[in-house]
């Protein structure tokens, strides 16, 4: 049995690490220390800063749910879904305290809106967004840790 290639989905190349403790990769301004996700380059997003060095930096693996929802109907393209295979999925906006960011992402498959609440702790996971004949296209997802606030 051949193993498919695994690679970040188009658009997310370099946005996360894989392995046992995956991280999202954001930017940190070398001048003022503010963060950005997705990564950016060229200039600091803060109007109070003239910094131009934005350094790739791993973001906190864990955060708290700011809010959540789900998709009961198949989203339109460019969302990719095999014909007749749509399964509703859940989405969370997750607050990363150290970085002061709220980052969107799907919740891991099998976790629905009834399984989470605002303030619940989640951690980053890497999952398969979709697969084609040769490749699994990877994306970041959020998985509840069981911690609540």
Tell me, residue by residue from 17 to 56, as one string, x for binding to other proteins by CB under 8 A and - for no binding. Answer: ------------x--xxxxxxx------xxxx--------
Binding other proteins (rule: CB under 8 A), the pick from 14, 18, 50, 75 is: 75
Q: For residues 36 and 122, which CB has a smaller minimum distance to other proteins in the complex?
A: 36
CA separation for the pair 108, 144 (Å, rounded):
9
Q: Tell whether residue 128 is a contact of other proteins (CB under 8 A).
A: no
Are the C-beta atoms of 53 and 33 separated by less than 8 Å? no
Q: Tell whether residue 83 is a contact of other proteins (CB under 8 A).
A: no
Burial 53-80 (b: 16+ CB within 10 A, else e): ebeebebbeebbbeebeeeeeeeeeeee
Tokens describing residue 121 = 């702790």
Task: Give the number of other CB atoms < 10 A from CB of residue 98.
Answer: 10
- State the nearest-atom distance from the C-beta of 114 to other proteins, in Å: 9
Residues that bind other proteins (CB under 8 A): 9-12, 29, 32-38, 45-48, 66-80, 89, 91, 93, 98-106, 113, 117-119, 129, 139
């Amino acid at each position: 049995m051949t193993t498919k290639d695994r690679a970040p989905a188009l658009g997310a190349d370099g946005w996360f690490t894989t392995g046992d403790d995956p991280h999202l990769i954001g930017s940190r301004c070398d001048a003022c220390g503010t963060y950005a996700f997705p990564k950016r380059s060229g200039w600091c997003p803060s109007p109070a800063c003239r910094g131009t060095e934005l350094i790739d930096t791993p973001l906190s693996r864990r955060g708290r749910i700011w809010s959540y929802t789900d998709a009961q109907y198949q989203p339109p393209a460019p969302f990719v879904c095999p014909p007749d295979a749509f399964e509703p999925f859940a989405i969370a906006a997750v607050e990363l305290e150290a970085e002061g960011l709220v980052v969107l992402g799907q919740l891991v498959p099998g976790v629905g809106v009834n399984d989470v609440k605002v303030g619940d702790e989640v951690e980053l996971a890497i999952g398969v967004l979709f697969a084609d004949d040769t490749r699994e296209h990877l994306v970041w997802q959020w998985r509840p840790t069981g911690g609540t606030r």
